[in-house]
């Protein structure tokens, strides 16, 4: 038996997709010295037998507890590359997002960076320069798919912009439902300054956020805007002065998540579904979508709890059922 087969047989089931030498392994149990494990039993293996260090974890997850139970943070931590969208980063982000999609215990997700002064710097140009034209097109197609998966998460999502969000970094933020920004943050779809156009949803989501004419101006010029101007344009929901610890936008996002948290989770999910689907169709079709979503809420225990709490003059205790 070859060395590779001895390493592979009986250890774990590898996914069929190889990303730049990285194989995605699902539900594997390997010695800690061989892998970097995050999000319980999800792991990534670099090459066939190399032993990645903790630095291999570029995207992580943090589930808040206590009164904030139900809030989950997606932590971007690729410090040396300013959270640029490389193969490993994208693969790990996709795996976490896939897990969150089916987790009914998650009520709000906050996307934040652990890298000071940056949310996400966009494309990993060093990796991109080594790709052929077809490889680059395939990779961007996968990146667009990831942003669609983030946008399709059933629970509310919030992007906390405490620093630069450029190109694909802003596209990631645009895939979220809500955005908070520090005044010092800089954001923009700067692809035209690099001979490209936004390829991960930016050309479609920015007009829906700020309007057609403003989006064209921002994309045509590749202009960057700060947090206060972004608020004025409607690009972010809240803009706050940066604090000494450099996480003012995250603190604002957490406040917003805490305001969403007590609401009936299934009703919130159905409201998101109604709005997301309704905005893409004419008003009559949108009304029909609203009616279908409303019908799904009627038989829930949460609706009965909400009515009982109102009559009894107390705070409701929602379970998501």
Positions annotated as catalytic residues are 123, 168, 171, 191
Sign of CA dihedral 148, 200, 97, 92: positive
B/e letters for 251-278, b = 16+ CB within 10 Å, e = fewer, are bbbbebbeebbebbbbbbbbbbbbeebb
Closest CA to 209 of 187, 185, 191: 187
Distance CA 298, CA 293 (A): 9
Distance CA 105, CA 266 (A): 11
Strands 108-113 vs 71-76: parallel, antiparallel or unpaired: parallel
Distance CA 189, CA 202 (A): 7
């Amino acid at each position: 038996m070859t060395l590779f087969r001895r390493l592979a047989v009986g250890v774990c089931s590898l996914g069929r997709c190889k990303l730049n030498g990285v194989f995605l392994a699902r539900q594997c149990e390997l010695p800690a010295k061989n892998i970097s494990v995050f999000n319980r039993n999800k792991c990534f293996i670099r090459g066939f037998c190399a032993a990645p260090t903790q630095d291999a974890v570029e995207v992580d997850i943090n589930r808040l507890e206590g009164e904030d139970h139900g809030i989950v943070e997606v932590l971007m931590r690729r410090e040396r590359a300013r959270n640029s969208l490389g193969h490993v980063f994208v693969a790990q982000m996709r795996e976490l997002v896939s897990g969150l999609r089916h987790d009914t215990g998650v009520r709000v997700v906050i996307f934040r960076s652990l890298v000071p002064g940056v949310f996400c710097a966009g494309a990993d140009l060093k990796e991109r320069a080594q790709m052929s034209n077809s490889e680059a097109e395939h990779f961007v197609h996968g990146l667009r798919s990831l942003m669609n998966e983030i946008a399709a998460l059933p629970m509310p999502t919030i992007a906390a912009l405490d620093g630069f969000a450029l190109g694909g970094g802003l596209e990631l933020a645009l895939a979220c439902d809500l955005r908070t920004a520090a005044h010092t943050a800089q954001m923009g779809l700067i692809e035209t300054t690099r001979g490209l156009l936004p390829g991960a949803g930016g050309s479609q989501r920015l007009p829906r956020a700020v309007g057609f004419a403003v989006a064209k101006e921002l994309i045509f010029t590749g202009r960057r805007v700060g947090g206060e101007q972004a608020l004025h344009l409607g690009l972010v929901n809240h803009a706050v002065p940066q604090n000494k610890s450099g996480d003012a936008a995250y603190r604002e996002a957490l406040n917003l998540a805490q305001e969403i948290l007590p609401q009936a989770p299934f009703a919130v999910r159905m409201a998101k579904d109604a709005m997301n689907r309704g905005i893409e169709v004419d008003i009559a079709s949108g009304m029909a979508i609203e009616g279908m979503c409303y019908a799904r809420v009627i038989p829930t225990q949460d609706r009965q709890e909400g009515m009982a709490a109102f009559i009894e003059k107390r705070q409701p205790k929602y379970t998501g059922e």
